[in-house]
Amino acid sequence: MDERGLRGLIDRVKAGDLSRRGFVQRLAAVGLTAPMATQLLAFSGVAMAQSAPVYKPTKRGGGGLLKVLWWQGPTLLNPHFAVGTKDRDGSRLFYEPLAAWDRDGNLRPKLAASIPSREDGTLAADGKSVIWKIKQGVKWHDGKPFTADDVVFTWAYSSDPATATVTSGSYKDVVVEKIDDFTVVVKFKQPTPFWADTFVGWMGCIIPKHLFGDYVGAKSRDAPTNLKPVGTGPYKFKDFKPGDLVTGEINLDYHVPNRPHFDAVEMKGGGDAVSAARAVLQTGEFHFAWNMQVEDEILVRMEKGGKGKVVITPGGGIEHLQLNNTDPWTEVDGERSSLKTKHPILSDPVVRQAIALLIDKKSIQDHIYGRIGIATANYINNPERFRSKNTTFEFNVDKANALLDKAGWVRGADGIRAKDGKRLKFVYQTSINQPRQKTQAIIKQAAQKAGIEMDLKSVTSSVFFSSDVANPDTYTKFYADLQEYSNGMEAPDPETFLRQFCSWEVATKDNKWQGRNVTRWQNKEYDDTHKAAQVELDPVKRAAMLIKCNELVVNNQVTIPLVMRPSAVAMNNRLVAEISGWDNNTSDLANWFLDG
């Protein structure tokens, strides 16, 4: 079936002329798996009606030990310093925000008593403020009461530049004030259409003032609670071995009745994605495993073991290739990839365009990812209203060669091109897992045909995604020419996700490489467009601005999207758990239970 025929079927589903089941059956007839057909519908904006699981346990505890596996183990347990998913998910065992996102993109209260709205007057019509009413009777794990003072403190902590949190972007441009012990108001400097950022999702986790109060600013990294969390969540901290094991025990004072079901939780780290999949799908040793970045053919084979299943949830995940805008090989004032430099080769837009033409995304999809990775031209793919219809991708070695020929990049005796004494040779790094190494090989092979040499560097995941500021091989340092990994939106709105390309978000030595802009790209048009979107209350105009941001990133090859990646996790057949593509894997942990 060609693209036109596929689009026609999707349009029929949207119009109500074809059922979802009929769509899946049509694609199954041409060899597409049912999960992948369903995923195509979801990414095309067709609502997939799913109700939240019904919580069956009638008492707190009694479920035994919950064993979960993250093949990249957490390295710290402060959500505001979490540079990778594993740290965010690990922190969320213990900490909670005011509200979280469910899998359908709706807000659910956690530490909030309710979700702000126009109807009750807590959401201002001019978009300049929002009032949060806080749940009463909540206790920190050490027995201290949770109040509005903790919420205001979390804002002050993360908005302080010297604290150098990765969540600062959600706090630095607002003012938070206490109205009473259980009410706060968030005030915006300007109309703010996406008000559900501060205190929402993993970036919104509230930390206790009485334990972090002496560790604001320059002393933030010295807080003992960075490694021994005291939160309000369903499990209380028991032990932590960074990169290896996090354990927690049931919180008998948890603020939701009959929760949690499990008596304890054990988050194991390390290993690789394949062994993690096997531990759930084949051996049944674990109840849950995160991030099934495994070739789909292998997953399908493992699922036949009958112990578990792969659960796929639409979201904003994207596997992508980043191009460094600075020089990773020159040190300035003790810093490589410094803003005071520019990349000696990748600053040539023709080279960037040629690299984009040398990526066979279709092969990466078909032969590696299958249902858990769909080739795309866009960095933003979901929700549908934010996806650009103007972008395309093409795999064309001949066109790449022609571009480089015309730009004066001449092949040498060894076949590698050079210009003005500079050879087209790059270091391309990523973390170690089989799909990424196979992707590297596919791209390297095509690059060779165009006279580009690529040295492949594979870094252990625990090192690549480490929060250690002394580690030279982290993705935030970006001491390479090209690098590949996956990240995703933490909300069903791309504004905060796209903040990572704003000039003021650059990762530098001064901010301990905590800035989210790791490509170091700076572009006034992008900055101005993003700023305009932040205050545009008209949803159609705002969506157009955010689409333009995506197009600027893609068309300038700041990053080259490879495949859009839904959340894909492995779950025991008895485990009932709702996974959101817009929040932490562990965001709804209090409601997990074993059935049957």
| Nearest by Cα to 173 from 530, 418, 426, 554 | 530
Cα distances (angstroms) measured from residue 26 to each of 9, 13, 20, 34, 273: 9, 12, 10, 10, 32
Mean pLDDT, residues 108-123: 95
* Model pLDDT, residue 83: 79
Query: What pTM was computed for the model?
Result: 0.76
- Tokens read off for 58: 């009638």
Can you give the residue ranges of every domain in the chain?
A: 1-57, 73-257, 315-565
Q: Which residues contact 462 (CB under 8 A, 6 or more apart)?
A: 72, 73, 75, 243, 269, 270
* Model pLDDT, residue 12: 63
Q: Which residue has the higher pLDDT, 487 or 14?
A: 487
Mean pLDDT, residues 56-68: 97
Of 27-36, 184-193, 225-234, 283-292, least confident by mean pLDDT is 27-36
Band (pLDDT 50/70/90 cuts) for residue 67 is very high
Convert the pLDDT of each residue in 304-358 to its tens digit.
988 999 999 989 999 999 999 999 999 999 999 999 999 999 999 999 999 999 9
Convert the pLDDT of each residue in 463-472 to its tens digit.
998 878 899 9
CATH topology of domain 73-257: D-Maltodextrin-Binding Protein; domain 2 (3.40.190)
Band (pLDDT 50/70/90 cuts) for residue 200 is very high
- Domain 315-565, architecture per CATH: Roll (3.10)
Band (pLDDT 50/70/90 cuts) for residue 139 is very high
Cβ atoms of 481 and 321 closer than 8 Å = no
* Model pLDDT, residue 18: 58
* Model pLDDT, residue 2: 57
* Distance, CA of 384 to chain centre: 18
Band (pLDDT 50/70/90 cuts) for residue 490 is confident
Mean pLDDT, residues 29-56: 55
Convert the pLDDT of each residue in 559-596 to its tens digit.
999 999 998 999 999 999 999 999 999 999 999 999 97
In three-state form (DSSP H/G/I as H, E/B as E, the rest C), the secondary structure along 319-385 is: EEEEECCCCCCCCECCECCCCCCCCCCCCCHHHHHHHHHCCCHHHHHHHHHHHHCEECCCCCCCCHH
Of 20-24, 224-228, 355-359, least confident by mean pLDDT is 20-24
